[in-house]
């Protein structure tokens, strides 16, 4: 009831509550439904968060496992075992090697191959790139089961690539090689006797196939053609090798280059017959371009600003002498011989300045008097040999031409091998930090074979180690007819611009173990991870 303006009472109709009560009745189940949806959404968020966490764990474990496998990439079984052990350790799983064959249907990169019996692993043709898919795992969700989802799968893919700095060259030397060797032997008229003694048609080269390496631009070629020698000399091998009977195979099974593209890290090589001065010229001084886009090896002028170059017969070639890599701050505090100091080679009183032949006071007087009669190019070779011999704790007698022999000074004297590096310049900061000498086109590794090996004809010989070398002298011309002069000697000039289409002989310094930094001269240095091989995740 209410009162109107005249004071009379008036009946007023009250609004009905039936509709609101119906709405309240509908809101209750709707709110419950919304609450269920929110709870399910929250449940999925929790489960998806757990799935994301599992996948992150998978990815981290895959990366670590593949790196571990690469460091044990000896045979396929050793690769698989290393990967499984790492995955089980990091994921608390119980995988077996059989589980690495549960990835049928996985899409792998073009031209890659799944490993037989382990299709979760695949490789490129050179075995320098590897890929791993972790066998699919599942976990039981906490809340998603309410929506009928009983398992959530998770996996990860990792891929790695070798970023190798080693240049393994297609030559061979004996395990009893000296400190200065002829890598490519010529015919009988080479002025250096060490370079004019071919053995039953063998001239120092060996055969390696091209396995196909996308990083180096090579395609697979296992036919044994001459083009392989040229490319391998210009670029270095496009695949890795191993030492017979040691890591990685640890067997006495001979695995030579006939396994081209099928076996990781062969431990033997095929000797090559026939002289090949034109091929050596092409690989060393040719214009190219080779598969990686570069010219011949000696024309790959070092990419560090202080490296030297010069022009020989119209071609720009690397002219950085070996002594430029000597650490200039060497002193008596270092375990190196006095004969390896840089002032022994250059400077006002060094042995290689042709303007002061009468003033080599940095050298012992008898040594200076002996070397003053030697041409500058040959003097350099003798000074480096003197340094290397003293580093090994040996006396230097210039092959019997200098007596009494010159004893080492420093490192404890005769019979005591030195231990500190000599050629340790490291002036540049790169993405992968390497020493300056590793950036030189003259630095590389040569497979070594036991002294007992019969290098005769086309035969298989095993690899007993690798020797770090520095390419030095080239001889040109047709040695079998007109003789072949020295074409080029880095750091001391060259003597001849003619006969530029042939390299009949090549010499190199052979580094003693320990004289290079970071173990670069060790027998296993050519393929050692962290020394010349660097693994990069590429996923």
For residues 330 and 287, give the distance between their C-alpha atoms in angstroms, rounded to a whole number. Answer: 39
* 2 has pLDDT over 60: no
- The whole-number pLDDT of residue 251 equals 66
- The whole-number pLDDT of residue 202 equals 84
Contact (Cβ atoms closer than 8 angstroms) between residue 70 and residue 80: no
* 386 has pLDDT over 90: yes
Nearest 5 degrees, angle CA 97-CA 103-CA 104?
125
User: What single DSSP character describes residue 135?
Assistant: P
Name 431's Cβ contacts closer than 8 Å, sequence gap at least 6: none
Q: What is the mean pLDDT of the chain?
A: 83
Q: Is 119 or 533 the better-scoring residue by pLDDT?
A: 119
How many C-beta neighbours within 10 Å does residue 287 have? 10
pLDDT, tens digit, 9 for 90 and up, residues 494-522: 666 555 688 889 999 999 999 999 999 99
- The whole-number pLDDT of residue 148 equals 64
pLDDT (average), residues 152-169: 83
CB contact burial 73-88 (16+ within 10 A = b; e otherwise): bbbbebbbbbbbbbbe
Q: Map tokens 């095993």 to a residue.
A: 462
Contact (Cβ atoms closer than 8 angstroms) between residue 242 and residue 266: yes
Predicted structure pTM score: 0.84
Q: Is 357 or 471 the better-scoring residue by pLDDT?
A: 471
* 412 has pLDDT over 90: no
Contact (Cβ atoms closer than 8 angstroms) between residue 198 and residue 226: no
* 58 has pLDDT over 70: yes
Q: Is 446 or 302 the better-scoring residue by pLDDT?
A: 446
pLDDT, tens digit, 9 for 90 and up, residues 200-219: 688 889 888 888 888 889 88
pLDDT, tens digit, 9 for 90 and up, residues 226-235: 778 999 999 9
pLDDT above 70 as % of the chain: 83
For residues 353 and 371, give the distance between their C-alpha atoms in angstroms, rounded to a whole number. Answer: 12
Whole-number Cα distances in Å, 430 to 426, 435, 439, 500: 10, 10, 11, 35
- The whole-number pLDDT of residue 198 equals 67
User: What single DSSP character describes residue 414?
Assistant: T
pLDDT (average), residues 32-55: 68
- The whole-number pLDDT of residue 10 equals 53
Q: Map tokens 């930094």 to a residue.
A: 517
3-state helix, strand, coil in the chain (%, to 5): 30, 20, 50
Q: Map tokens 């992968």 to a residue.
A: 432
Least confident of 2-6, 306-310, 368-372, 391-395: 2-6
Q: Is 396 or 247 the better-scoring residue by pLDDT?
A: 396
- The whole-number pLDDT of residue 312 equals 80
pLDDT confidence band for 32 (50 / 70 / 90): low
Least confident of 84-98, 112-126, 470-484, 514-528: 470-484
Q: Is 44 or 257 the better-scoring residue by pLDDT?
A: 257
Residue 157 forms beta bridges with which residues? 133
Q: How far is CA 383 from the centre of its chain?
A: 30
pLDDT (average), residues 456-473: 90
- The whole-number pLDDT of residue 306 equals 83
Q: Is 220 or 385 the better-scoring residue by pLDDT?
A: 385
- The whole-number pLDDT of residue 521 equals 94
């Amino acid at each position: 009831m209410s009162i109107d303006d005249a004071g009379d009472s008036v009946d007023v109709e009250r609004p009905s509550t039936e509709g609101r009560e119906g709405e309240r009745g509908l809101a209750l189940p709707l709110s419950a439904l919304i609450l269920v949806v929110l709870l399910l959404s929250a449940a999925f968020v929790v489960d998806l968060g757990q799935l994301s966490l599992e996948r992150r764990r998978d990815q981290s474990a895959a990366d670590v496992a593949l790196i571990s496998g690469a460091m044990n990439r000896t045979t396929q079984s050793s690769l698989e075992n290393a990967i499984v052990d790492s995955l089980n350790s990091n994921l608390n799983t119980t995988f077996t090697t059989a589980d690495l064959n549960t990835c049928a249907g996985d899409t792998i990169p073009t031209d890659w191959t799944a490993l037989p019996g382990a299709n979760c692993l695949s490789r490129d043709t050179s075995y320098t790139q590897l890929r791993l898919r972790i066998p699919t795992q599942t976990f039981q969700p906490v809340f998603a089961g309410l929506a009928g989802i009983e398992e959530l799968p998770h996996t990860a893919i990792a891929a790695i690539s070798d970023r190798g700095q080693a240049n393994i060259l297609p030559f061979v030397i004996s395990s009893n090689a000296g400190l200065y060797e002829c890598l490519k032997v010529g015919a009988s008229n080479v002025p250096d006797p060490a370079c004019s003694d071919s053995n039953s048609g063998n001239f120092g080269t060996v055969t390696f196939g091209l396995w196909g390496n996308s990083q180096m631009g090579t395609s697979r070629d296992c036919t044994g053609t001459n083009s392989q020698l040229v490319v391998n000399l210009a670029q270095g091998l496009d695949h890795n090798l191993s030492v017979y009977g040691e890591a990685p195979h640890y067997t006495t099974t001979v695995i030579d280059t006939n396994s081209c593209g099928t076996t990781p890290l062969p431990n033997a090589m095929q000797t090559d017959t026939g002289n090949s001065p034109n091929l050596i010229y092409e690989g060393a001084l040719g214009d190219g371009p080779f598969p990686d886009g570069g010219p011949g090896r000696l024309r790959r002028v070092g990419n560090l600003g202080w490296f030297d170059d010069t022009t020989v017969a119209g071609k720009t070639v690397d002219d950085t002498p070996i002594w430029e890599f000597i650490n200039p701050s060497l002193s008596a505090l270092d375990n190196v011989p006095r004969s390896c100091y840089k002032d022994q080679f250059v400077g006002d009183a060094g042995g290689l300045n042709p303007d002061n032949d009468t003033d080599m006071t940095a050298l012992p007087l008898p040594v200076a008097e002996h070397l003053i009669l030697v041409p500058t190019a040959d003097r350099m070779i003798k000074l480096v040999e003197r340094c290397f011999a003293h580093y090994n704790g040996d006396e230097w007698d210039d092959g019997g031409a200098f007596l009494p022999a010159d004893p080492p000074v420093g490192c404890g004297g005769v019979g005591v091998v030195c231990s500190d590096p000599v050629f340790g310049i490291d002036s540049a900061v790169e993405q992968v930090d390497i020493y300056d000498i590793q950036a030189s086109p003259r630095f590389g590794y040569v497979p070594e074979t036991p002294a007992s090996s019969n290098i005769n004809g086309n035969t298989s010989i095993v690899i007993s180690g690798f020797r770090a070398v520095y390419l030095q002298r080239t001889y040109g011309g047709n040695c079998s007819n007109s003789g072949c002069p020295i074409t080029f000697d880095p750091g001391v000039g060259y003597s001849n611009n003619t006969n530029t289409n042939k390299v009949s002989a090549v010499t190199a310094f052979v580094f003693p173990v320990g004289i290079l930094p970071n173990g670069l001269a060790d027998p296993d240095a050519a393929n050692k991870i962290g020394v010349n091989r660097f693994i990069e995740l590429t996923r």
